[in-house]
Structure 1
């Protein structure tokens, strides 16, 4: 049930990110075409694109939190036992929940302070800009709580106990190194040859 909820949760975020990116592309590309072709443009293009970019980054951070795609190191945790990994995971999630709360508090204060301020082009309250931090904090906090429940109820595999996942480039490099090692093991070590390209042997 929890796994399904998290999957649907992140699927909805992915759809929002895709929609924001599509609108940004239309606004920026359309504005460039209008500038060069008709010497006009979309007045709200720059402002709205900038706001959408900020929202896209914060929503993408939530999706990255689900996938373990943030920067980190598993040099220590990967060498611990399953119990040690679980303890570290719980401590890490509790710390992230605390930091998320701090971020929520700051974003909420900024949003309230800018309720009466309007953007120069669209006239939209600037609070909408800072609301991205509030939404991120709420979604990230909810996701962290759901993940913490999975850990405490034992509904998580050992491979998921390490929050950091290696990049695609690192995975490809390790796969290539493993393939080269298999090839070396199959062919065996190279035999030394004497000068001239002929193997040395004993003379009668």
Structure 2
């Protein structure tokens, strides 16, 4: 049930990213056209685009975290026995949970420090800008914690013990990790 809720949240966050990207494209392109064509411009476009980009980056990082799409290497871990894979994944999760805590603490401090100041053009509280780190760290902590609990309770399949998702374009052909070998092309 929690997995379904997280998947739905990720779909909503993906839609929000699409909206943010569309707004950024419209504002930046519109601003360029207005400046060169009509010697005018959208005053708020540059600052708002920067804010949307920062929020979109953190939201995208959350979605990538959920789908295990961040960069990583599995050269050593893929060759370990199941117990070794579990230990490595557990240690990685504990380290990531600690890093989420550090990010939360730093983002909280920046949000509080900048809550009273406003942005130059939009005159919006700068705390909202730094709250993107809070948003990321809270949800990343939740996503990682759910995966850690699944690991500890034995709910992860052996194929899920490696925290890196391979690209579909580059099959690795390791029978221990990928039970289906790459298709052979006959000359």
Uncovered stretches (5+) of structure 1, i.e. residues with no partner: 185-204
Correspondence for 2:109: 109
Task: Please give the per-residue CA displacement for 1:157-195, whole angstroms capped at 9, x wherever unaligned.
Answer: 211110012234434999xx955x5426xxxxxxxxxxx
- Give the RMSD, CA atoms, in angstroms: 2.1
5+ residue gaps in structure 2? 175-180
1:1-204 aligned at under 5 Å gives the runs 1-171=1-171, 178-179=182-183, 182-183=185-186
The answer (yes or no) to whether the contact 1:2–1:150 under 8 Å persists in 2 is: no
TM-score by length of 1: 0.81
Runs of 4+ in structure 1 over 4 Å off:
none
Q: Once the two structures are superposed, what CA deviation does each residue of 1:6-46 show, in whole Å capped at 9, x if it has no partner?
A: 21122122112111111111111111121222221110000
* 1:53-109, Cα deviation, whole Å (9 max, x unpaired): 111111111111111111211011111122221221111111100011001100110
Asked which structure has the greater CA Rg, the reply is 1
Give the TM-score, by structure 2 length. 0.88
Where 1:148 maps in the other structure, the secondary structure is helix
Aligned to 1:196: none
SS in 1 for 2:170: helix
Q: Number of residue pairs matched? A: 181
